[in-house]
Amino acid sequence: MTCIVGVQKDGRVVIGGDSAGVAGWSVTVRADTKVFRNGEFLMGFTDSFRMGQLLRYSLVPPVPQDWDLDRFMSTEFIAVVRDCLRDGGFARNESGNESGGLFLVGIRGHLYRIDSDYQIGRSVDDYYAIGSGDEYASGSLHTTAGLDADERVRLALEAAAHHSTGVCPPFHYITSDDVYAPDGTVRAP
């Protein structure tokens, strides 16, 4: 149970997350954050803190080339994620179907949702929300389209915490330092 929120706007990505660690009826406010930077990748995870630890400390992501970023994410990035989760003992294999977990990735001004079957997703909306508070956060994100990305993420997390027992502050945020043009090149902010 958690809420991770990401917004891509004007070539910039912001990802925020709550601090709840939920096991049954017990909630622990975790000191380790669910959002972090790994190289130039921004990440926020749900499902398991073990998966997040592997993505944060074991994953050595490849450097995106100057070609199609969706293709890179679907092939090279996912290949190293699968290896990392498998080597770390997190990936599950049931009847030949391998699965991992759910997380958001921001890279070069683009926001991706990585699902447990390792598919990448990009929404026509400029946001994603995942975890037990995702519906509350998505409603907030939809109604705050005119605000800047940082404010939208903050308001979405507050809405999720207000309405979901599995979401709690403090909230943590990570933002891309550079601003990217649609072709993936860095532009002046």
Q: Which CATH number does the domain housing residue 8 bear?
A: 3.60.20.10
Contact present, 157 and 5 (Cβ < 8 Å) = yes
Domain count, the chain: 1
The Cα 20–Cα 38 span in angstroms is 22
Q: Report, as an integer, the average pLDDT of 60-85.
A: 93
- pLDDT for res 52: 97
pLDDT at 147 over 80: yes
Contact present, 171 and 140 (Cβ < 8 Å) = no
Among 7, 33, 11, 37, CA closest to 20: 33
pLDDT at 4 over 90: yes
pLDDT at 188 over 70: no
Contact present, 156 and 137 (Cβ < 8 Å) = yes
pLDDT above 70: percentage of residues in the chain:
95
pLDDT at 66 over 80: no
pLDDT at 150 over 60: yes
pLDDT above 90: percentage of residues in the chain:
80
Domain coverage including residue 120: 4-187
Per-residue pLDDT of 111-122, as tens digits, reads 999 999 999 999
The Cα 15–Cα 134 span in angstroms is 13
The Cα 143–Cα 146 span in angstroms is 8
